[in-house]
Amino acid sequence: MSKRITNSQVLGELGETAVKKIVLEMQFIYDPRGRLEAGTDGIIELRDPKSGVPLGKLLGVQVKSTESGQYIRENDRSFEYLLKPDDLKYWRGSNIPVIIVLWRKSDESAYWKEVTNCVKGEERRLSLTLAKNSTG
């Protein structure tokens, strides 16, 4: 069998690259985790955009990429995203806040929300309002 890279792997890499660009345009620092990661694709360090001084405030970031289409219950004001139980358990155990960024290739939209404490108990449905940063 020959080696191959799946379209899903390429899409994921495109999503992470798009999010890195957005973070850098916001004047923050994006550090990708690399090949050995279990639930966060990178670390964002906040910095003062005027002085350039890093603030020592870190966020974990997990990027979820999709080619196109709508999210669950998507309308012009909000949508929902169903979190995986293992991901949610991992993020809740983190010692830094974790955000999820949902990136859609077709319109290059990116939506984010903090996920460490966003849903309670066994609930996995993440509700997002239009906190949208579109690069397209």
**Paired tokens of 115:** 């996920």
* Residue-wise pLDDT tens digits, 100-134: 999 999 999 999 989 887 766 666 878 877 644 44
pLDDT for residue 28 is more than 90: yes
pLDDT at 67: 94
Rama region for 6: left / alpha / beta (φ>0; ψ in -120 to 50; rest): beta
Tokens 């550090």, residue located:
31
CATH of region 7-134: 3.40.1350.10
How open is the CA angle 81-84-85, to the nearest 5 degrees? 130
Q: In the prediction, which pLDDT does 121 show?
A: 64
State residue 36's pLDDT score. Answer: 66
pTM over 0.75: yes
Closest CA to 12 of 65, 84, 61: 65
Rg of the chain over all Cα atoms, to the nearest angstrom: 15
Q: Summarize pLDDT for 4-27 with one digit per residue, the tens.
A: 999 999 999 999 999 999 999 999
Given this model, what pLDDT does residue 21 score? 96
pLDDT of 50 strictly over 80: yes
